[in-house]
Structure formats: C-alpha cells, structure tokens
Amino acid sequence: MLNRRNFLAAAVGVAAAGALTACAKSDAGSSTSSGGSDSGGSGGKAINLGFSQVGSESGWRTANSDSVKEAAKEAGYTLKFSDAQQKQENQISAIRSYIAQKVDVIAFSPVVVTGWDAVLKEARTAKIPVVLTDRSVETSDESLYVTLVGSDFTAEGERAAVILEKVLATAGHKGEVKIAQLEGTTGAAPAIERAKGFKTVMDRQHKDDWKIVVSQTGDFTRAGGKQVMAAFLQSNPDINVLFAHNDDMAIGAIQAIEAAGKKPGKDILIVSIDGVKDGFVAMSEGKINAIVECNPLLGPQLMDVVKKVHAGEKVERWIKTEESDYTQDQAKAALPNRKY
Ligand code: GYE
C-alpha cells in the first residue's frame, strides 16, 4: 500500500523552476524571517519554505515543531509555519495558501495517508516541490512529492513486539498475554504501520500465547489515552499488557490504570513508542516497561533536503531517522540526556 520500501533505491531530482520569488507578506500561520548564517539558496535570497504541521497533540509533536523552527532559523530560511490541529482540511488550506504565496518549497507532515492528490497536483502545476516529513501519504502518482524525511513506523511496531518479549521475560510473566492496543490517529501512517509491524511479529511468533483483546484510537493524546484505557478496563478487566502507539497515550492510560486501583508496569505491562522526556520519567518510575524511540528532531535533515531540492539536486526517496529501544534498567541513566 504505502510502498515506502520501494522508494529507497529511486532518486528523483526536482528543479524548483521559477519558484524563487520575493517573500510573501501574509501567511496561513506564523512567519519567521531568516536570521541564520546561510541564505540557503540561489542568488543569496533566503529560501521561502511553507510548512504545514499536523497539530500539537503530543510531546513528540512539540519537539518536532521546535526542531523545524530552530533549524529553519539556523539555515537562514524564511519559514511559514501553520498548525492544522489534526484536521486534514486545515492542512489542505495551509498548503493552498503556500501555493498562492508562491513559496519555494512546501513541506508537510500529513495527518492521514489518503486524500492529498488534488492539492499535490495544484503544487505541481505551480512548480512548487513538496517534501513530506514524518508521515507518508498514499497517492495515485508517487512523483507528486519528492521525498519523505521520517521514521520507519512498521519497524517501530515490530521493535515494540520484540521488546515486549523481553518485558514479559523480565516480569516472569506466565500464561496468556492479553493485550490492549491504544492506536494513534485513525488513518495516520504511524497508526497503520505501527499496528501492522506489531501484528506481523505477533502472528509469526506468538499466535498461541498473545492476543490483542481490545484496540481503539486514542488520537495520540493523553486525554484520549486516559479515556479509552478507562473504557478498556471496564470491558476487559483481565488485560495484562498495554501497547500504546505513543508515550502520551501511555501516560494518559497510566492515570486510568491507577484510578482503577491497578499498578501500571506491574499488573499491566506497558510498551510505548516515541521516547519523549515524560515517557522516560514514567519508565524510570517503573510505570512504563519499555519504549521504542521515534526521533522527532527532523529539522536539520529537513532543511538540508529542502536546500537540495530547491537547487534541483537529486535526493533519496526516503530519508530515514536513526532510533534506539530502551528498557527500565536504562531509563534512569538515559533520562538526563533526553533532548525532547
Ligand atoms: O509518534 C506521535 C505524534 O507521526 C511519528 O505523531 C509521529 C507521531 C508520534 O503525535 O506522538
């Protein structure tokens, strides 16, 4: 479906023909003028980058937005930044506004995978190259965007299942593993692919002993995680594992577990994804058992790619981020060094 793996070998060059224009004054969101050391583009003119962010749903997202803003400043670009509040229609209007303002490059982190063809075609007609960050899209024509800078979410889901094996062994767990899954935003690449990766390992290695007994979206938020987990505990009080697609939902779920008189990390073993500071705090307190890291600090890589794309250079179809896994025994030592 997403064909991300197929993109690896391919390289596409896109010339930002004729797209270098004077800075537009109005904006769909906030606009930061260049202040960095590098004009980042041809003829000494600052690259004008329009960035449409998903929202501010999680600690990961906040770190990601900060990274993009800082890196744009550092690179000396003019950044137009808008927050879509997890709504696709807001992202589409932000992108349309960037097209109308004739920015040099558009970058966005798509809230869901489908429904982008029309606006991507409009960008192409305007000869404005599009770079995806963090999340991928499904499109009828893959040449509608140049590259994706982001993580391998399927691998993250697989890593979560593998680390759960370790967590169960460390806890000396015997008997059936009854898993509750808190999914990310419905239709979002990380929700689809993390669930897929986890299930692949589960079906291959644990067909008989592991079962996902409940699974529902918590929209990547703490409030969502708390509310959905409370409902899970009502309908399935025998759950003994939680797999949360991000730390924020796990943190919300911990509150629901404690409110139900159970011990997170003991009565219910918890594995989540991201590795934000609050996740590490919960892990060092013994409430989360393991975290699969997903690095949000994509800004510097993104600015580098934007510069190349703007200059018409070839770039890889998928620029992946490097990540690690962490268990409770590593949490305390790693905590002071967490950057987000
Ligand atoms: O895991 C979650 C955020 O797309 C990788 O979105 C990102 C995910 C991240 O809300 O916390």
CA nearest neighbour of 278 among 185, 328, 340: 340
- The pLDDT of residue 323: 87
Which atom of ligand 1 is least distant from the CA of 151? 5
In the predicted structure, residue 12 carries a pLDDT above the cut 50 = no
Cα 55 to ligand 1 centroid, rounded to whole Å: 10
Pocket of ligand 1 (CB under 6 A): 57-58, 60-61, 134-135, 190, 220, 246, 248, 273-274, 294
Q: Which amino acid is present at 205?
A: Q
* Residue at token pair 């007994």: 213
In the chain, which ranges are E strands? Answer: 11-13, 30-32, 48-53, 78-83, 105-108, 130-133, 147-150, 177-183, 210-217, 241-244, 269-274, 290-293, 314-316, 318-320, 325-327
Tell me the per-residue pLDDT of 111-123, one tens digit each, with 9 for 90 and over.
999 999 999 999 9
Which atom of ligand 1 is least distant from the CA of 109? 4
Burial code of 26-52, b = ≥16 C-beta within 10 A, e = fewer? ebbbebbebebeebbbeeebbbbbbbb
In the predicted structure, residue 110 carries a pLDDT above the cut 90 = yes
Rounded CA Rg of the chain:
21
Give the tokens for residue 169. Answer: 């062994």
- In the chain the domains, ranked by start, together with CATH numbers, are 4-149+296-320 (3.40.50.2300), 153-294 (3.40.50.2300)
- In this predicted structure, which of 17-26, 45-54, 170-179, 228-237 has the lowest mean pLDDT? 17-26
CA nearest neighbour of 102 among 30, 44, 17, 40: 17
Distances (CA, A) of 17 to 109, 141, 241, 289, 321: 24, 20, 53, 51, 29
More confident residue, 333 or 33: 333
Tell me the per-residue pLDDT of 259-313, one tens digit each, with 9 for 90 and over.
999 999 999 999 999 999 999 999 999 999 999 999 999 999 999 999 999 999 9
Q: What percent of the chain lies above the pLDDT cut of 70?
A: 87
Per-residue confidence at 173, pLDDT binned at 50, 70, 90?
A: very high
- The pLDDT of residue 30: 57
CA nearest neighbour of 264 among 272, 255, 277: 255
Tell me the per-residue pLDDT of 227-248, one tens digit each, with 9 for 90 and over.
999 999 999 999 999 999 999 9
In the predicted structure, residue 71 carries a pLDDT above the cut 80 = yes
- The pLDDT of residue 254: 98
- The pLDDT of residue 45: 87
For all residues of the chain together, what is the average pLDDT? 90
The best mutation among 61, 132, 185 to test binding of ligand 1, ranked by most ligand atoms within 8 Å of the C-beta, falls on 61
